[in-house]
Amino acid sequence: MVALRRFGVILCPIDFSLHSAAGLCSAGGIARAFGGRVVLLHVQRVEVPVYFTKSQARDLKAQFRKSARSAWRYASEFAAQQLPAEVKRTILLREEDPVEAVLRVAKELHAELVVLGTHGRTGLARIRLGSVTESALRQVEMPVLTLGPRVLPSPRLAQIRRILCPVNYTPLARAAFDDAVILAEKTGAEVVLAQVAELHAARRADALSQRPLEWAGAEAASRCVLKEVLLKGVAVEQIVSEARRCRADIIVQGAQPRSFGGTVLFGSTSELVIRKASCPVLSVIRKPSPHS
C-alpha cells in the first residue's frame, strides 16, 4: 500500500498577481482537504547603490521597512480573499533572491508541496515558465503544483472532484498515479486514467495491449473511484482536450526536468500541458541524472 502523503505544509510564493491569486485558491483547497497549512511567501529586495551616502542608505532602508509592513498587511488581506476561512496560514517576508527564498523556506519548513502561478513564454519552439518558476522546478524535491496562464482565480479551484492522470506505464507515471490516488482519497474525487496512443509513434505491443485499469490494480481501485479513457493523437492535445471534456479540476502528471542551453525545461509533453491546460497541473518530479 502506498504511504499516505499528508500535505501538511504547502508553500505558496505570492507577488499579488492574478497568477499567484489562482495559486493561492488552489493551495487552499488542498490544505483544507488535508488539514494542512499554507505558507505565503513574499520576497522583497533592497539594494543600496554603492554611491549612496550613509544617510541616504539609512533613509532607503527605513523606507524598505515601512514597505515591508505594508506588504505584510496586504498579504494578510490577499490571503483572506483567496483562502477558505478555516485554512491555517502563515505569512513570511524575505529579503533575498526569490528563487533562493523559495528553496530555503521549502527546506526550512519541510514543505510537502510548492504552488507556483506562472505565465508562459514562448521561445526556441519551447516553453519557458518564467525565471523563478523554472529555477525552482530545477531544484525542488517535492511535488510542484503549477497554474499556467490560462488558469484564473476562481472558487472552483478550491474544489477537486475529478483528477485526470495521463498513463504511459512508466515508473514515473506510477509515481504520479500514486499521488493522484492519495489526493482522491482526501477529496473524494474520481481519477480518470488517460492512455494516449500517439499515431506517429512506434509503440510496444505490450504497452498498447494493457488497459489503464488493469495497470492501476485492485488495491488502488479499493481506495477511490477509477475510470479509464483511451485516446489517439498527439499526447499534449489529447490530454488538454480530455481535461476540458471531462471537466478535470486538476491534472496529475510525471515530469522530468532537463538541461537545455543553461536553463531547465520539462520534456515537451509535460511543459506544454502546463502551458495549455485550463486547470492546475500537479507535477511529480523526477530529477535527471548528472549525465542527462
CA neighbor of 204 nearest in space, from 170, 236, 238: 170
Provide the pLDDT for residue 208.
56
Nearest-angstrom CA–CA distance, 227 and 244 = 16
Residue in the block written with cell 492522470? 165
Q: What is the DSSP letter of 262?
A: T
Instruction: Please count the other Cβ atoms lying within 10 Å of the Cβ belonging to residue 224.
Output: 20
Q: What is the DSSP letter of 38?
A: E
Residue 287, C-beta contacts closer than 8 angstroms, at least 6 positions apart: 141, 256, 257
Per-residue pLDDT of the chain (292 residues; tens, 9 = 90+): 444 457 899 999 998 888 889 999 999 999 999 999 999 999 876 665 656 677 766 755 666 566 667 788 889 999 999 999 999 999 999 888 888 888 999 999 999 999 988 765 443 233 333 556 666 666 777 899 988 888 888 888 999 999 999 999 999 999 999 999 999 999 999 999 999 987 655 454 444 567 999 999 999 999 999 999 999 999 999 999 999 999 999 999 998 765 444 344 445 688 788 888 999 999 988 765 554 4
Q: What gap in Å lies between CA 118 and CA 273, rounded to an integer? A: 13
d(CA 5, CA 176): 12
Asked whether 54 and 80 are in contact (CB, 8 A), the reply is no
Report d(CA 164, CA 189) in Å as an integer.
10
pLDDT, residue 161, reads 97
Q: What is the pLDDT, as a whole number, of residue 128?
A: 37
In angstroms, the Cα distances linking 42 to 77, 92, 93, 112 are 13, 6, 5, 19
Of 250, 241, 238, 239, the closest CA to residue 189 belongs to: 250
Q: What are phi and psi of 59, to 5 degrees?
A: -65, -40
